[in-house]
Amino acid sequence: MAASGVTWDVGGNEKYLRHNVTMHRRTSSSQRAPVLGADYEESSMTEIKRLNWSEIAPEGAKALFGIHHYVTKKTDLPEELIHLVFLRVSQINGCAHCIDMHTRDLLKTMAIDKVSLVPVWAEVPHLFSDQYRAALAWAEEVTNVSTTHASDEAYAAAAVAFDDKDLVDLTLAIAAMNAFNRLGAPFRLPVAAKP
């Protein structure tokens, strides 16, 4: 089956995208990912064909893409800020597909010098506005919630930069991207980047 995703057209109608990648259901335990250890060789986990999550669970995909549609089309958050947050969350989670996609999205409106420094945004505060820095800090705080516990200090800083509705919408954007990363990385969604 071909890998696919759901996206939305200008009118908010659902449409499906197809990628030129074939994914197959794992059929035996002999196809498991290599285990790191003494017998580990230079084998990549990407050699294993992964399930196409959006075809196998289309209702789940529709629900998740519904949140994405809300965040990208129905909020007052600037589009560039949304892609910035999507990129940073994806970098933290190590989702190649989402890093590739959101880097491309962000490069449409942001200089490559800034995009390349997103992972170290706190070291170059002069490149990002106060609101962008607050969004990046909150994205890191929420993405790493198991260790940060969404501290009072981080919440207070985000609440200064965003009104109540925008802060909730920003947090929904962060949560949605974390969900996408937790599907994109394990199921090895393809990247558009070519050698």
Kindly report, residue by residue over 40-78, the tens digit of the pLDDT. 233 344 567 887 888 888 898 899 999 999 999 999 999
Q: Which has more confidence, 124 or 27?
A: 124
Residue among 96, 18, 86 nearest 52 (CA): 18
Per-residue confidence band for 187, with pLDDT thresholds at 50, 70 and 90 = confident
Task: Kindly state the average pLDDT of the residues 82-109.
Answer: 96
Give yes or no for a contact between 81 and 193, defined as CB atoms under 8 angstroms apart. Answer: no
Residue among 122, 145, 119, 117 nearest 133 (CA): 122
Q: How many residues does the chain have?
A: 195
> What is the rounded CA–CA span in Å between residue 69 and residue 109?
20
| Residue carrying the six token digits 């985000």 | 158
| Each residue's pLDDT tens digit, 89-101 | 999 999 998 999 9
Task: Kindly state the average pLDDT of the residues 146-172.
Answer: 96
pLDDT, residue 62, reads: 94
> What is the rounded CA–CA span in Å between residue 66 and residue 49?
27
Amino acid of residue 94: G
> What is the rounded CA–CA span in Å between residue 109 and residue 115?
10
128 token code pair: 């990002």
Amino acid of residue 10: V
User: For the chain, how long is the longest CA-to-CA vector?
Assistant: 55
Question: Is the pLDDT at 192 greater than 60, yes or no?
Answer: yes
| Each residue's pLDDT tens digit, 17-44 | 333 333 333 333 333 333 323 332 333 4
| Residue carrying the six token digits 């196409």 | 52
| Low-confidence winner among 47-51, 107-111, 131-135, 161-165 (lowest mean pLDDT) | 47-51
176 token code pair: 């949605």
pLDDT, residue 46, reads: 54
